[in-house]
Structure 1
Amino acid sequence: MQLTVTGKKLDVGDALRARIEEGLGEAVAKYFDQPGDGTVTVSREGHTFRVDIQVHISKRIVVQGVGQAADAYAAFEEALEHVSKRLRRYKRRLKDHKHVSAEREVLQAQQYVISPEADDTDVEPAETGDQPAIVAEMPAEIETLSVSEAVMRLDLAGATAMLFRSSKHGGLNMVYVREDGNIGWVDPQIPAAGES
């Protein structure tokens, strides 16, 4: 596995780097023979350390884990535990996915990052128009998945929402994490032409 270890506002020492490479390499190799690449970012936030792990299992599957502790090693162990738990939970389904993913249709899309509205009252609405300021735009793929696969991907990535095409009917669906911690599912029922 190709692994990149970086530090934000700190220098990652050789001992911590070696521990990260060894620990993450073993955890991923336990479940996958040829994993993709991974990124580990160690940062300092006040008196605590934060470790963000992101591992690409395949082209479209990303596993993320986050850990925070007073010690950088403890923060890494917590993040590694999250990644390991997700890999263990979905091991069988992830291995089965490799055979199915080539057959599934992927819809190409454009993803935008929009700046939040400014609180400045000096700017006249006519000057900015009705369009929000776009900070970034990048290509995205909307995969055809079952609801259970979408929920699995949502959990693996540690994301709050995921848009996908339903493998049942081909329409766009979304799964998201609700404020109460449960998973929500949006399945718009669009009537076919001629139906009311």
Structure 2
Amino acid sequence: MQLTVKGKQLDVGDALRTHVADSLNAAVGKYFTKPLEANVVLSREAHLFKADIQVHVGRGIMVQSAAESDQPYPAFDTACEKIAKRLRRYKSRLRNHHGAENGAEALPARYQILEAEADTHHVDGEEVAEAVHPVVIAEMQTQIETLTVSEAVMRMELGELPALLFRNRAHGGVNLVYRRRDGNVGWVDPGAEQAGA
């Protein structure tokens, strides 16, 4: 596995790099014999250390995790444990998914990042700028994978993503799964309505 360890506002020494490499290889190696790559970013924010881990374990499967602590080693260890727990939970589905994926094709999609403008209004004759709206995402090449709904939910949870757009393997339509505010998973399937019409 190709491993990259970076520090932001933190000097990552050889001992910490070795600890990261050994721990991550042990955690991921239990479930995947040949993971592709891993990126670990250790950063310091005020009095807390944060560890962000991304592991590309297979074609189209990215596992992400993050944790904070007052020391860099416990922050990394907690994030690494989260990755191991997710891989353990989805081990059989991930292994079965590789066999089913061989005939699947991906649909290309594009998006780009557009900066939002600040809203301004007048209060007592003075112009006041309100908070900038979130950035709008549109234009970069990506792939929309063909998955079952359970595979899409699994990938969303593995990657700690708020939502995942995919082609439904059952009928070929574009679907969306997303994390609801109550913690449950929502599923949007416009193809189901079209099939019933």
* Alignment TM class, shorter chain as reference: 0.7 to 0.9
Over 3 Å counting, the alpha-carbon distance change for 1:166 and 1:16 in structure 2 is: same
Structure 1, unaligned runs of 5 or more: 123-131
The aligned counterpart of 2:48 is 48
State the TM-score, normalized to the length of structure 2. Answer: 0.87
**1:111-190 to 2 correspondences below 5 Å:** 111-120=111-120, 137-188=139-190, 189-190=192-193
Aligned-CA RMSD value = 2.1
Q: CA deviation at 1:24?
A: 0.2
The aligned counterpart of 1:104 is 104
Q: Could you list the per-position Cα deviations for residues 66-87 of structure 1 after superposition, in whole angstroms to 9, with x for gaps in the alignment? A: 1111110010011001100111
Number of residue pairs matched? 185
For the residue of structure 1 that corresponds to 2:156, the secondary structure is helix
Q: Give me the identity figure in percent.
A: 50
The ranges of structure 1 where at least 4 consecutive aligned residues each deviate by more than 6 angstroms after the TM superposition are 132-136
Structure 2, unaligned runs of 5 or more: 123-133
**Alpha-carbon distance in 1 for matches of 2:116, 2:101:** 36
1:191 equivalent in alignment to 2:194: yes
Q: CA deviation at 1:190?
A: 4.7
Q: Which protein has the bigger strand share?
A: 2
**Alpha-carbon distance in 1 for matches of 2:52, 2:40:** 6
For the residue of structure 1 that corresponds to 2:194, the secondary structure is coil
The aligned counterpart of 1:125 is none
Is the 8 Å Cα contact of residues 111 and 137 (structure 2) preserved in structure 1? no
What amino acid is the match of 2:174? L
Q: CA deviation at 1:119?
A: 2.4
**Alpha-carbon distance in 2 for matches of 1:120, 1:6:** 39
Over 3 Å counting, the alpha-carbon distance change for 1:38 and 1:141 in structure 2 is: same
**Alpha-carbon distance in 2 for matches of 1:114, 1:180:** 30
